[in-house]
């Protein structure tokens, strides 16, 4: 039986808009918010799909959602308490400065406001940042790291899917100083929904099925996000070698991280260290079995497994998330809950 | 925002047991009931997994469900209002006569009580029925057909997955007498979870992936279920040629049925006929697009699409369900809602 | 050990060109012909990929094939004995009239020359036929039906993938007059490579994986091909209800056909009838097990299984092919072998 | 057109037996050898499938292979030139001492004779070695490393699938001393056919599909194989952290290796170094694109891609193979070719 999550009767409900709701992250947000007891989605918007009904694009919503897509930045946003922006990187930074004048709280699911440095942004995203003055005020929306600052934030930069899995995997070890911050190796496997809903030969079934491809080796835009967040959180200069791979699944990320242990620890001590680190966080589970993606599919959980490889004195950490939930829409809702004083897990369990 | 589904505070909650909860249908039941606002799962039982925690078998339940599997037919069932039986056909009929003495309402997800005739059972299930006296009292649990009798039933035989999709596809046409009841052709495609959680070379990934196999041609145990339910509902002697196929997906059934039209109808009239037939049923959606499995995955919906093939004067109906939800656990919960006076969709949307 | 298939040393080799070799059928042709002992592929051509190396598009050819794509209709075709045309329907008919003046034998893998009637073509392909005068001279390239006429043909229309599986499944029964030619029901399941190498959301992994979709119900362009070939071959007016379904595999077609038996036959007699019908045809295998796609993947075989459903007096025939081989490139090579007096199976086993 | 690979007419053909031919590697061997121009498979044997026809287990062989499985170690092996042993590790070492008395050349596809040290074997394979006296005489069958000693060997230990991909990826860098031999990190992704043809819930479609699982972290039996072969080949003590992952594909291994560069090199110099290292080896291709599994599926190729990550000064190498071909049966045939003086690529292109 579900816990009674409703805030008291009579309380005002959070009125939400989803800007760019025609992609997979936007649709997942709509799915989650539709059964969230404290939110009402008042508007969904889209660029090329404006004017279409949501259930024309996503027949799963038939009979469940009567909305149609409004123009991308609609005229009427009065009464909207929070705007989720689920646009490709590069698009959000054009729109968010305008949105900020009309909506009190904004959660951006893209990459435009995750780095504090406009130079780093330009280096990895290969375009100039058009709203660099907003970077310092944006809060990185990883609740396991920034719960309190998120609660007060006006603009939350929701973490990337790979960084969510990589940072949660390494944070306890780095903050406790038990691994060397230099030369961390991170390999991640991702389902295709992370690439969005798009028409391309590369993402066609015949090219993905029975195949694996690494990509953007050493150049992926999530590298500076992982390094800078871990560096700032741990106080040590983290360098990470990161290789993402595309595998034939729709949802899920599997991250395996290797780092050199700098202290002697038993497996039991390590487990305790991780369990205590996350004991107050409802969406991180430390598993004694090896993690698997199916255990977190369509949930907001991040499952983490840890091993010590004695022969090499390496820490090996594996973490799994659903890239559309904890890696995107679910984490955005978790952030929204914190921002509006709702219990952190509302609508997510 | 989710409708407020809770019956009034203070109302007694339904206490449930799942007998045979270690398979996929049992686990799906547990998943659905865990967020059902009017039910508390008090017991889950299993044969070979007795004594294990649920989250040891299904890590998805970690942190969400503290239950462990009790022995298959546990001693203490006091206070249980309803027992779901999710055992292989042949096992349920041994246990249900005993259960009936101890639990007031029983919902059997297997095939043992779906046919009214012990002879037909023996012909297709290839074993003698050990509790034939219970057959006449069992109610076939298809809410779209038997809503009222289900409400009063003590023993509900939850429909098979293929029959659910086939019967819902053909029921309106047969009841309105617009197709010939003889020579209906039904082809169904099923995901592998329908075969249960089992160890066999045939169900291994390497044998299912990139493959399709038809099976049990002309001998499948769902044939008499489809024919007898449709015959009884329509009053005409329905004969159906049925071929099930196993395809490389985990969840979902796609049924395509062909029948000879006996009256002249426009596509619009046909659509109206189907829409009106199901207008009071919350889980059947008549689609104007061709149905697809992804639209119903992890939901209790059955989506139905209809076409008239003028050249052959055939009605072609396609229906899709999630075999573990509308084809098993979800429909069982829908039946339970009816049996306990809860709104039919409680916990299912 | 492979049979020695080479025609005697000193014999002239067949010089081939593949017009439109950048799609999946063209690449499959190139793969097969590369190990064919009697053929040398002299030219491959493409529209948008002209100027690229084959292994840039298909890295599988690296180190195996040094060709680059020439312009779609290249200037120099001197010395080419046969041109395979692997273009989308509608494109081939613009080019083949010109090709015929320059190349002695042409095998078209598309649909433009499979129907004898330009009216039927226009009805189903929804465009005017631009070379109707060539229709009567084109030979339908199903070797199991037209072996002798193919040998002498100048222009062979290679059958469609669905028609290959459907016609081979039904031909023996129709020619022997044991089923009713009216009201045959054909359901086919196809892998996505049949739709070609293209960029579209509908064919993206996330939309195909864990999904099934029927499409073009009652309107598919292969319907007149199936009906007219079977009608002409059997002398009875065949009408067929045909529903194609897209399933999440890359290669393969599974066809299940239902027809009303008009004579009394035992299963053994039926098996004998089918086995004798195909006994001289090296690529059709009658199986006693239910056919499965994996048994024919990457081969030119069509496996056929037959059942009599006594209750409905239906014949049920299942056939499987690899849509890119027996359904396209392999059959084209089989036709080429016949046209050049090579043993029918050369390069295909 | 295929190169003429036949050794001169009149030459004796190699007569082969496959001991343990009912699994996936054995079947793949049979597939490859069936079209090998210099080999005749005289016997296939199996334990539980003895007495069955090959095409009863593998319908793909229908009409192509008339063999039936003999008992596992058959009485008559007279005239057999080479025995391939495709048994699970632990089984082969019981049989090979007997086989060696009756057959001149043996190629073991399992792990029993790959390590030189019985102690290491016992540590990782968790059983006592029953034929330790044969270890020193067995030749590690990686042609790119041991071409000459393989040619003269009586007993060849065919490499493991993971080691094949990992060793080929790292060999040039280690032999040229451009990376640190300590702390190499290897992550591999494998299709399920590597686990063999077996009945288990863990390998069932429903548990593999849409899932990823790492396994045997720090304990996999291929770890000492990788380390000892690389150590012996390079003369430096290689330690490697290795994590294998199971992903939802049937065939293929994707290996991504990270190592610290110890010298300054440009990308072009690195490419040249790798290209020159493998220039005389027909089955290793150095790619300028990122490797992908589909490029090597059903081939004996290993494709290797290389990147320098400047920020971390890491060498990142990716290699792909088909685990059943270059990772098992194909490599075994490559070894056989060398042992019998046939061109190395005979029957493999």
A323 and A253 in contact (C-beta within 8 Å)? yes
Q: Which of A197, D231, A194 is closest to C200 using CA atoms? A: A197
Q: What is the pLDDT of residue C76?
A: 83
Q: What is the pLDDT of residue C196?
A: 86
pLDDT digits (tens, 9 = 90+) for A175-195: 999 999 999 999 999 999 988
- Chain D hits for C58, Cβ within 8 Å: 295
pLDDT digits (tens, 9 = 90+) for A79-99: 999 999 999 999 999 999 999
Interface test with A, best of C49, C52, C58, C205 (most A CBs within 10 A): C205
Q: What is the SS3 assignment for C248? A: coil
D267-290 burial by CB neighbour count: b if 16+ within 10 A, else e?
eeebbebbeebbeebbbbbbbeeb
CA distance C154 to chain D (A): 23
Q: Are B37 and A299 in contact (CB < 8 Å)? A: no
Q: What mean pLDDT is predicted for residues D330-343?
A: 98
Nearest CA in chain B to D197: B201
Q: What is the DSSP letter of B336?
A: H
C68 and C54 in contact (C-beta within 8 Å)? yes
Task: Name the residue with tokens 């078209």.
Answer: C108
A139 and A221 in contact (C-beta within 8 Å)? no
User: Phi/psi of residue D109, each to 5°?
Assistant: -80, -10
Q: What mean pLDDT is predicted for residues D192-206?
A: 92
- Chain D hits for A289, Cβ within 8 Å: none
Q: Are B183 and C260 in contact (CB < 8 Å)? A: yes
Q: What is the pLDDT of residue D195?
A: 87
**B4: pLDDT strictly greater than 60:** no
Contacts of residue C199, defined as CB under 8 A and 6 or more positions apart, other chains included, come to A199, A200, A201, A204
Query: ipTM of the predicted structure?
Result: 0.95
| pLDDT tier, C11 (very low <50, low <70, confident <90, very high otherwise) | low
pLDDT digits (tens, 9 = 90+) for D221-270: 999 999 999 999 999 999 999 999 999 999 999 999 999 999 999 999 99
Q: What is the pLDDT of residue C1?
A: 44
User: How would you list the strands of the sheet with C213-214, edge to edge?
Assistant: C213-214, C240-246, C184-190, C253-260, C314-321, C302-309, C284-286
User: Phi/psi of residue A208, each to 5°?
Assistant: -100, -40
pLDDT digits (tens, 9 = 90+) for A95-153: 999 999 999 999 999 999 999 999 999 999 999 999 999 999 999 999 999 999 999 99
Q: A1-10, B166-175, D129-138: which has the minimum mean pLDDT?
A: A1-10
Report the relative pairing of strands A314-321 and A302-309 from DSSP bridges.
antiparallel
Q: Are B211 and C293 in contact (CB < 8 Å)? A: yes
Out of D197, D200, D205, closest to residue B209 by CB? D205
What is the Cα–Cα distance from C58 to B219, expressed in whole angstroms?
Answer: 45
Q: Which of D345, D338, D349, D295 is closest to D145 using CA atoms? A: D338
What is the Cα–Cα distance from A188 to A216, expressed in whole angstroms?
Answer: 12
Full-model pTM: 0.96
**C5: pLDDT strictly greater than 50:** no
**A6: pLDDT strictly greater than 50:** no
Q: What is the pLDDT of residue C153?
A: 98
Instruction: For chain A, give the mean pLDDT.
Output: 95
Q: What is the pLDDT of residue A72?
A: 95
Q: Are D59 and C295 in contact (CB < 8 Å)? A: yes
In B158-292, DSSP assigns E strands to: 184-190, 213-214, 240-246, 253-260, 284-286
Q: What is the pLDDT of residue C7?
A: 41
Which residues of C are known to be catalytic?
161
**A7: pLDDT strictly greater than 50:** no
**D107: pLDDT strictly greater than 60:** yes
Q: What is the pLDDT of residue A275?
A: 98
Contacts of residue B3, defined as CB under 8 A and 6 or more positions apart, other chains included, come to B349
Q: Given the residues A65, A161, A279, A302, select the one marked as catalytic.
A: A161
Q: What is the pLDDT of residue D177?
A: 97
Max alpha carbon distance in chain B (Å)?
62
| pLDDT tier, B196 (very low <50, low <70, confident <90, very high otherwise) | confident
Instruction: For chain B, give the mean pLDDT.
Output: 95
Q: What is the pLDDT of residue B11?
A: 59
Max alpha carbon distance in chain D (Å)?
62
Q: What is the pLDDT of residue C12?
A: 74
**C6: pLDDT strictly greater than 60:** no
What is the Cα–Cα distance from B142 to B159, expressed in whole angstroms?
Answer: 6
Out of A24, A209, A249, closest to residue C250 by CB? A209
CA distances from residue B245 to B35, C255, D310 in whole angstroms, order as listed: 33, 11, 52
Task: Determine contact: C349 vs chain D, CB below 8 A.
Answer: yes
A139 and A157 in contact (C-beta within 8 Å)? yes
C275 and C286 in contact (C-beta within 8 Å)? yes
What is the number of other CB atoms lying within 10 angstroms of the CB of residue C207? 22
Q: What is the DSSP letter of C325?
A: I
Q: A10-14, B194-198, B326-330, C304-308: which has the minimum mean pLDDT?
A: A10-14
Three-class secondary structure assignment of chain D: CCCCCCCCCCCCCEEEEEECCCCHHHHHHHHHHHCCCCEEEEEEECCCCCCCEHHHHCHHHCCCCCCECECCCCCCCCCCCEEEECCCCCCHHHHHHHHHHHCCEEEECCCCCCCCCHHHHHHHHCCCCCCHHHCCCCEECCHHHHHHHHHHCCEEECCCHHHHHHHHHHHHHHHCCCECCCCEEEEEEECHHHHCCCCCHHHEHHHHCCCCEECCCCCCCHHHHHHHHHHHHHCCCCCEEEEEEECCCCCCEEEEEEEEECCCCCHHHHHHHHHHHCCCCCCEEECCCCCEHHHCCCCCCEEEEEEEECCCCEEEEEEEECCCHHHHHHHHHHHHHHHCCCCCCCCCC
Chains contacting C (3 or more CB pairs within 8 Å): A, B, D
CA distances from residue B338 to B5, B331, B332, C294 in whole angstroms, order as listed: 14, 11, 10, 45
**B141: pLDDT strictly greater than 50:** yes
Cα D84 → chain centroid: 13
**A12: pLDDT strictly greater than 90:** no
What is the Cα–Cα distance from A191 to A322, expressed in whole angstroms?
Answer: 9
What is the Cα–Cα distance from A234 to A226, expressed in whole angstroms?
Answer: 12
- Above pLDDT 90, what percent of chain A? 94
**D8: pLDDT strictly greater than 50:** no
CA distances from residue A329 to A69, A80, A156, A322, A324 in whole angstroms, order as listed: 18, 18, 13, 10, 6
Q: What mean pLDDT is predicted for residues B137-162?
A: 98
Q: Are C299 and D40 in contact (CB < 8 Å)? A: no
Structure tokens at D195: 């686990």
Q: Which of A324, A329, A277 is closest to A304 using CA atoms? A: A277
Which residues of D are known to be catalytic?
161
Q: Are D59 and C287 in contact (CB < 8 Å)? A: yes
Q: What mean pLDDT is predicted for residues D297-316?
A: 96
Chains contacting A (3 or more CB pairs within 8 Å): B, C, D
Out of A212, A293, A297, closest to residue D293 by CB? A212
Q: Which A residues in the span 185-224 are in contact with B, Cβ-Cβ below 8 Å?
A: 210
Q: What is the SS3 assignment for A82? A: strand
**A41: pLDDT strictly greater than 80:** yes
Q: What is the pLDDT of residue B238?
A: 98
pLDDT digits (tens, 9 = 90+) for A273-296: 999 999 999 999 999 999 999 999
pLDDT digits (tens, 9 = 90+) for A316-344: 999 999 999 999 999 999 999 999 999 99
**D9: pLDDT strictly greater than 60:** no
Q: What mean pLDDT is predicted for residues B28-37?
A: 96
pLDDT digits (tens, 9 = 90+) for C34-73: 999 999 999 999 999 999 999 999 999 999 999 999 999 9
Task: Determine contact: D63 vs chain C, CB below 8 A.
Answer: yes
What is the Cα–Cα distance from A162 to A257, expressed in whole angstroms?
Answer: 12
Structure tokens at B91: 């096992």
What is the number of other CB atoms lying within 10 angstroms of the CB of residue D37? 17
Instruction: For chain C, give the mean pLDDT.
Output: 95
What is the number of other CB atoms lying within 10 angstroms of the CB of residue C311? 15
| pLDDT tier, C265 (very low <50, low <70, confident <90, very high otherwise) | very high
Indicate the helix (H) or strand (E) that contains C303. strand C302-309
CA distances from residue D116 to B198, D83, D139, D157, D243 in whole angstroms, order as listed: 39, 21, 10, 11, 23
pLDDT digits (tens, 9 = 90+) for D123-163: 999 999 999 999 999 999 999 999 999 999 999 999 999 99
CA distance A66 to chain B (A): 13
| pLDDT tier, A198 (very low <50, low <70, confident <90, very high otherwise) | confident
In B34-193, DSSP assigns E strands to: 39-45, 82-85, 105-108, 139-140, 155-157, 184-190
**D4: pLDDT strictly greater than 70:** no
Q: What mean pLDDT is predicted for residues D20-25?
A: 96
Q: Which of D292, D191, D302 is closest to D249 using CA atoms? A: D191
Beta bridge partners of B68: B53
User: Phi/psi of residue D57, each to 5°?
Assistant: -80, -40
Q: What mean pLDDT is predicted for residues C317-341?
A: 98
Task: Name the residue with tokens 């002992």.
Answer: C37
């Amino acid at each position: 039986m579900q816990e009674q999550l409703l805030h008291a009767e009579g309380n005002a409900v959070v009125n939400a808009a989803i800007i760019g709701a025609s992609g997979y992250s936007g649709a997942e947000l709509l799915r989650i918010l539709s059964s969230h007891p404290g939110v009402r989605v008042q508007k969904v918007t889209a660029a090329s799909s404006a004017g279409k009904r949501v259930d024309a694009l996503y027949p799963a919503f038939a009979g469940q959602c009567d909305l149609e897509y409004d123009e991308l930045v609609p005229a009427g946003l009065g009464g909207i308490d929070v705007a989720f922006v689920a646009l490709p990187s590069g698009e959000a930074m054009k729109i968010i400065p305008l949105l900020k004048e009309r909506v009190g709280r904004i959660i951006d699911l893209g990459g435009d406001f995750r780095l504090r440095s406009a130079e780093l942004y330009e280096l990895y995203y290969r375009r100039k940042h058009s709203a660099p003055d907003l970077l310092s005020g944006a809060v990185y929306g990883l609740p396991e790291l920034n719960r309190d600052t998120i609660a007060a934030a006006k603009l939350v930069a929701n973490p990337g899917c790979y960084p969510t899995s990589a940072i949660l995997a390494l944070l306890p070890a780095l903050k406790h100083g038990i691994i060397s911050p230099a030369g961390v190796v991170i390999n991640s496997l991702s389902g295709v929904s992370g690439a969005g809903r798009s028409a391309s030969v590369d993402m066609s079934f015949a090219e993905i099925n029975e195949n694996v491809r690494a990509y953007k080796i050493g150049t992926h835009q999530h590298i500076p996000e992982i390094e800078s967040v871990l560096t700032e959180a741990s106080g040590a200069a983290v360098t990470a070698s990161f290789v993402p791979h595309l595998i034939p699944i729709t949802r899920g990320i599997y991250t395996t991280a290797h780092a050199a242990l700098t202290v002697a620890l038993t497996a039991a001590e390590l487990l305790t260290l991780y369990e205590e680190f996350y004991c107050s966080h409802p969406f991180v589970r430390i598993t004694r079995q090896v993690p698997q993606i199916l255990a977190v599919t369509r949930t907001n959980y991040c499952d983490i497994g840890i091993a010590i490889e004695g022969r090499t004195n390496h820490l090996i950490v594996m973490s799994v998330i659903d890239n559309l939930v904890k890696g995107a829409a679910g984490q955005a809702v978790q952030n929204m809950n914190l921002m509006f004083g709702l219990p952190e897990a509302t609508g997510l369990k």
